[in-house]
Amino acid sequence: MQLSVSGKQIDVGDALRQHVAEALDGIIGKYFGKAIEAHVVFSREAHLLRADISVHVHRDLQVKGQAEAGDAYSAFDNAAERIAKRIRRYKRRLRDHHPRGRDAETELVTARSYVIAEQDDAEADSTPLEAEPVIIAEMECEIPSLTVSEAVMRMNLADQASLVFRNRAHGGLNVVYRRTDGHIGWVDPDLNAGKRKS
């Protein structure tokens, strides 16, 4: 596994790097054998230290976790425990992650993803509504073909607010998202889906 450990406004020593490597090898090795890559970033948040962990387990599966604590070791251990807990929750489904008999290449759709600059209130008042937003970054991304439960699992593992996917049942684009009340929302524009269920 390719591992990068870095710090923002923090010096990350060899002992902390070794602790991170051993802990991630233990967690990831227990469930997946070996991951592709992992990134751990330590940063200062007021009087606390924050650890952000991102692990690419497979080409199309990412697990993320973060935590804050008084020292870097505790912050990392708490974030690693959150990752381990998420993986344990979805252990059975992750074992059967690659459906047999399906061509993975045909199930992915390539799309374009944009990062748009946020306007502050002064700019928003002076800019006409027809003005184009400022694009900061443009990237290619892949939209996977999943069931709704697989999409919710991936959204939770990656600690994302939302996930766009192709619904394996009918091939249409769907979105799952985390609502402000903590529940999961699901947008399915396939108007025939409700008729098929009844």
Q: Given this chain, do its domains 2-95 and 105-197 carry the same CATH topology?
A: no
> What pLDDT, on the 0 to 100 scale, is given for residue 123?
59
Structure tokens at 59: 């080409």
Q: What is the pLDDT of residues 85-135, one digit of tens each?
A: 988 888 777 666 555 444 444 466 777 777 788 876 655 555 566 667 787
196 vs 76: which has the higher pLDDT: 76
> What pLDDT, on the 0 to 100 scale, is given for residue 18?
95
pTM for the complete prediction?
Answer: 0.68
DSSP string for residues in 61-87: EEEEEEEEESSHHHHHHHHHHHHHHHH
> What pLDDT, on the 0 to 100 scale, is given for residue 100?
45
CATH topology of domain 105-197: SHC Adaptor Protein (3.30.505)
Give the confidence band of 58 by pLDDT, cuts at 50, 70, 90. confident
Enumerate residues 6+ apart whose C-beta is below 8 A from 9. Answer: 43, 44
> What pLDDT, on the 0 to 100 scale, is given for residue 126?
59
> What pLDDT, on the 0 to 100 scale, is given for residue 198?
47
67 vs 125: which has the higher pLDDT: 67
Does residue 43 carry a pLDDT above 60? yes
Does residue 165 carry a pLDDT above 70? yes
Lowest mean pLDDT among 100-114, 146-160, 177-191: 100-114
Instruction: Over range 53-72, report the average pLDDT.
Output: 89
9 vs 165: which has the higher pLDDT: 165
Does residue 179 carry a pLDDT above 60? yes
- Report the mean per-residue pLDDT for the chain: 83
Domain residue limits, the chain? 2-95, 105-197
CATH of span 2-95: 3.30.160.100
Number of H-type helices and E-type strands within the chain: 6, 10
Q: Which of 69, 50, 62 is nearest to 9 (CA)?
A: 50
